Chains A and B, each alone.
Chain A
Amino acid sequence: MERRDFIKISAITGATAALDSCGQPDVQLIRFIPEEELMPGVATWKPSICTLCPAGCGTLVKVMDGDAEVIRNGTLGIMKMGLAKKIEGNPKHPISQGKLCPRGQAMLQVTYHPDRIKGPLKRTGPRGSGQFQEISWDDAIKELVAKLQELQAAKQQASLSFLTNPLRGQRRELIERFLSTYGAPPAIAFEVFDEAVLRRANELSFGRPQVPTYDLARANYVIGFGADFLGTWNSPVAQAVAFGKMRQGRPGQRTKFVMVEPRLSQTGANADEWIPARPGSEGILALGLAHVIMKEKLHTGAAAGRAGSLIEGWSSGLAAYSPQEIAPRTGVTAEVITRLARELAAHTPAVALIGGAPLATPDGLARALAVNALNALLDSVEKPGGVLFTPQPPMAQPQPATTRHPESIAERLGLLAPKDSRETPPVAALLLDQANPVFGLGDAWKIRDALQRIPFIASFGNFLDDTSVFADLVLPDHSPLESWVDSTPEAGAQHAVVSIAAPAVRPLHNTRAMLDVLLDVAHRLGGPVADALPWKTYEEALKTGAKALQALPGSLAAKDSDEFWNKLLAQGGWWSTEIRPAPARPPETRQRFAPVGAARADHKEDSPFCFLLCASPLLSDGSLAHLPWLQETPDPLSTAMWSSWVEINTKTAERLGIKQGDQVEVESQHGKLQAPALINPGIAPDVIAMPVGQGHTNYTRYASGRGANPISILAPMVVPETGSLAWAATRVKITKVGEGKLALFGAELREHPHEHR
């Protein structure tokens, strides 16, 4: 008898179940027959993709056998199944290069989280109460289909709204096909820290509506303006790999890294020189550097071309931006500005990065354009050691956010007056896929009220969060490790990448892949929707989409499409060094831009502090606050765990009589919150900083009700050109209210921390 047959027989007879459960009623469970071939104790490494941020790192998942409690046909039992034990970077993958960030390392806890939604739910209590009952998949899908048919019958298809986190690759293609053939407007992508302003700036300056890839490994001089490229911004793993190389990868050559930001970030802590320029003055500082380079004729190229011509006064040498002129506005001395400009020009290839807070004010676009012009002047655009753009293969779709008539989420949900009410009727049905605007937009947007007014909300996410708790119907997705996944990275690699991966493990709960559900719904609706989505499953759609890649230059060698597909899955995706970026086409604009100094803000009197939000290096934009590993990992700079805090400059705190750990109240014109104070020597005296991530009202047992959400008190402002949230344009005042509690790992290594205070 074969070993496998023996296992099958013993499973059927229940012999092992009887042995396992002697005397313990809670484990007297049925043992189901394993659904897969497993070698006990032997690990297999399966290629997958990290989906926790848009960077799209390729991963390898260590899968080993283990006993899991599962429900099959309504019965609880134990099944031997492949379980994910560890995730590493995929060494062959051009983005991750075998490495991962802390968030990617914690992805295992998404799959095995105790508060994952275990099956379809229907709301029973009032909206937002979190009271649901379990229903069957058939009933859940029937209900969704009935709602969509109801809208069709009433000819109200345009009132269907699809709200998601940013989509790329085949996932985006399928969702957009569904929406357009159904007659609904395109999906609204929402994230707090979106990159639409940078894309728009790159479109204007270089004809590429894309987030750039920086060739740090080959640069000799790097200057960052607010861009947290070693933390969470853009493609952090690829950028950290390159950072290692620029520091110690070339014998005898070490790149200088200068960081310009008002609060020393994790990225800034690694800089050779840190320059706390006034918040908002990053654009004029960049033009000041350009002024010196042009005046002293330090640049090699003739001019900065189109990128320069967008800047007011560029052709006359930026006369208004002499170091003496801008020194008081930037808070950086004329000597330092002149020296930096000379260093930049003398150490080419040099590259300037801008991202984060400088772009998140209503006048953010001009700052990005100023830095683009500086890069062009340094002759660093699409050159080794400079700003590159990852070639986009056919499976990638351009981001929707670069349109001239942006449709912000608030507008679509009826919070702002729609530009044309005939085009955008009020939302009658909302489909939610992981986006969390209740957490990610300030209270001033009144997003909860807007959700209450929408007659029907269905959510696909696999957790109940601040937004999806308002859903009437929950159709939970698999975890990314249990699902087919695809991703077409916008940046991070110097050549074209499409990542596609099969499920690494089988689903633990009664969940279904969101795209499989969408295809099922399309087929039940019939008509043009079904015709546009002929595939039975997401897997089938991926396989069809991947066929376009086979014939491309530099592709995997294979005799037929099946062999190609298998090879692609075995390495975790497709990449080719022979794809060139599409020709750049700058849009015509006669507009000229001039960056302003101080950020435009909503309210000044008696709000003396600029309120700076920081993406948490661990909890990201708050979407990872549900993972206990990340909650308990100390923040790199504060070493705080499980909590929120308010960062105050040492001298400012002294002046206000605030001590480390005091509870302080932060008040804007739009709300207030409380958190303990953290005295920080690396923050400007007129800036108050808070990490984003905590303060969820509803996001699993680990994050709900923990800390405070700084987004909640933001002014309801957007960047007009893109509709992005202007999250760096709020001013606040602070007052001490009493004793607070700070949990710092660094301060409390010994067992009795109070003795060491």
Chain B
Amino acid sequence: MEPKPQKKWAMVVDLDRCTGCEACVVACHAENNIPTVGAKEAAIGRAMHWIRVERYYEGEFPDVRAKFRPVFCQQCDAAPCEPVCPTYASYHTSEGLNGQVYNRCIGTRYCANACPYNVRFFNFYNPVWEKPLHLQLNPDVSVREVGVMEKCTFCVQRIKAAEIDAQAEKRELKDGEIQPACAQTCAPRALVFGDLNDPASEVARLAKSNRATRLLEELGTQPKVIYLERESWHDGENS
């Protein structure tokens, strides 16, 4: 029997569908026990959002446009964050994820410095959930302490749970069975998650689109987040 190809988890972000609504941002907080830091800390750049929606203005009034781009850990195949970690807290998993072992992290912040995407967030303080807000915490995700770096995991807890379920039921994972919290809540379906090594998967199909690009690709980081650029409308092509 031929060995099954290793999974290669990837996300497609269709910028023609994304409305910039921020549902992914709040869903991520709820799923991944991301603390809120409060107004004062947020004002000095310490707010933690594993996924953010970047907004770019183009042009001047009245010919002005704005574009949204959700940005989160790009799960690079050649990740700049990994080799700089002195404690191997940032490492590459067998399924291509940029893992972060919180127990190994000693808070050098080298990884955040090396990351060109600004998607790593540092715990400057122990997180606080004013009681009883802590009752909402997701027991499937560990809470990080002061001095630890954290970032998007592609909801690895959901990936693992689905893999274990599939194994227990002696079946293959189905395409679309795993949805990170951001993708699950995304109303216009701008976020699609799946296995890039499975040619039949939706992400593999979308990644071949002529609109597909990767963020700061020229740095050679080989990101596994694929952006489908926003289209423009031309009269005649649609009618």
Chain A interfacial positions (CB closer than 8 Å to B): 41, 64, 66, 68-69, 83-89, 97-106, 108-109, 111-114, 220, 230-231, 236-237, 240-241, 243-244, 247-248, 252-257, 264, 266-270, 272-276, 343, 346-347, 508, 617-618, 628-634, 636-637, 639, 641-643, 649-651, 681-685, 701, 706, 741, 743, 745-746, 748-753
Does A748 lie within 8 Å of B26, measured CB to CB? no
Chain B interface SS verdict (over half): loop
Closest chain-B Cβ to A214's Cβ sits at a distance in Å of 15
Does B39 lie within 8 Å of A99, measured CB to CB? no
B103 located at the interface, meaning its Cβ lies under 8 Å from any Cβ of chain A in the complex = no
Does B61 lie within 8 Å of A685, measured CB to CB? yes
A111 vs B17: C-alpha distance when bound (angstroms):
32
Does B57 lie within 8 Å of A270, measured CB to CB? no
Chain B 85-128 interface mask (CB, 8 Å, partner A; 1/0): 00000000000000000000000000000000010000000000
Does B30 lie within 8 Å of A105, measured CB to CB? yes
Closest chain-B Cβ to A708's Cβ sits at a distance in Å of 14
Q: Which of A255, A649, A746 contacts B61 (CB 8 A)?
A: A649
- With A270-B19, A749-B45 already in contact, the answer to whether A89 and B39 are too (CB < 8 A) is no
A132 vs B64: C-alpha distance when bound (angstroms):
52
A119 vs B189: C-alpha distance when bound (angstroms):
42
Chain B 164-202 interface mask (CB, 8 Å, partner A; 1/0): 000000000000000001001111111000000000000
Does A68 lie within 8 Å of B27, measured CB to CB? no
Q: Which of A106, A244, A632 contacts B189 (CB 8 A)?
A: A244
Q: Which 7 residue pairs across A and B have the least CB separation, nearest first?
A: A244-B188, A240-B187, A642-B39, A269-B66, A743-B43, A748-B45, A99-B187
Closest chain-A Cβ to B113's Cβ sits at a distance in Å of 10
A671 vs B22: C-alpha distance when bound (angstroms):
33
Chain B interfacial positions (CB closer than 8 Å to A): 14, 16-17, 19-23, 25-27, 29-31, 36-39, 42-47, 49, 52-55, 57, 59-62, 64-68, 118, 130-139, 181, 184-190, 231-233, 235, 237-239
Q: Which residues of A contact B52 (CB under 8 A)?
A: 634, 745
Does A636 lie within 8 Å of B20, measured CB to CB? yes
Closest chain-A Cβ to B10's Cβ sits at a distance in Å of 18
Does A243 lie within 8 Å of B19, measured CB to CB? yes
- With A240-B188, A269-B66, A631-B36 already in contact, the answer to whether A102 and B23 are too (CB < 8 A) is yes
Closest chain-A Cβ to B239's Cβ sits at a distance in Å of 6
Q: Which residues of B contact A630 (CB under 8 A)?
A: 26
Q: Which of B42, B44, B54 contacts A632 (CB 8 A)?
A: B42
In this complex, what residue of B is CB-closest to A237?
B187
Closest chain-A Cβ to B219's Cβ sits at a distance in Å of 17
Q: Which of A88, A269, A643, A741 contacts B68 (CB 8 A)?
A: A269
A585 vs B65: C-alpha distance when bound (angstroms):
42
Q: Which of A236, A248, A267, A633 contacts B25 (CB 8 A)?
A: A633
A745 vs B21: C-alpha distance when bound (angstroms):
15
A346 vs B118: C-alpha distance when bound (angstroms):
45
30 contacts between A and B (CB under 8 A): A88-B184, A100-B27, A100-B187, A101-B23, A105-B27, A108-B136, A111-B136, A230-B20, A231-B21, A241-B187, A244-B188, A244-B190, A255-B238, A256-B233, A269-B55, A270-B20, A272-B232, A631-B36, A632-B36, A632-B37, A634-B47, A643-B39, A649-B61, A681-B61, A682-B64, A682-B66, A684-B61, A743-B42, A746-B54, A751-B45
Does A88 lie within 8 Å of B36, measured CB to CB? no
A748 vs B23: C-alpha distance when bound (angstroms):
21
In this complex, what residue of A is CB-closest to B59?
A681
Q: Which residues of B contact A230 (CB under 8 A)?
A: 19-21
Does A247 lie within 8 Å of B16, measured CB to CB? yes
Does A682 lie within 8 Å of B57, measured CB to CB? yes
Does B45 lie within 8 Å of A629, measured CB to CB? no
A749 vs B119: C-alpha distance when bound (angstroms):
9
Closest chain-A Cβ to B40's Cβ sits at a distance in Å of 9
Q: Which of A97, A274, A633, A643 contacts B26 (CB 8 A)?
A: A633
Does B47 lie within 8 Å of A745, measured CB to CB? yes
Among B25, B68, B118: residue with most chain A CB under 10 A = B25
- With A230-B19, A247-B16 already in contact, the answer to whether A276 and B61 are too (CB < 8 A) is yes
Does B47 lie within 8 Å of A632, measured CB to CB? yes
In this complex, what residue of A is CB-closest to B22?
A102
Q: Which residues of B contact A745 (CB under 8 A)?
A: 42, 47, 49, 52
A64 vs B43: C-alpha distance when bound (angstroms):
35
Q: Which residues of B contact A642 (CB under 8 A)?
A: 38-39, 42-43
In this complex, what residue of A is CB-closest to B57?
A681
A58 vs B17: C-alpha distance when bound (angstroms):
22
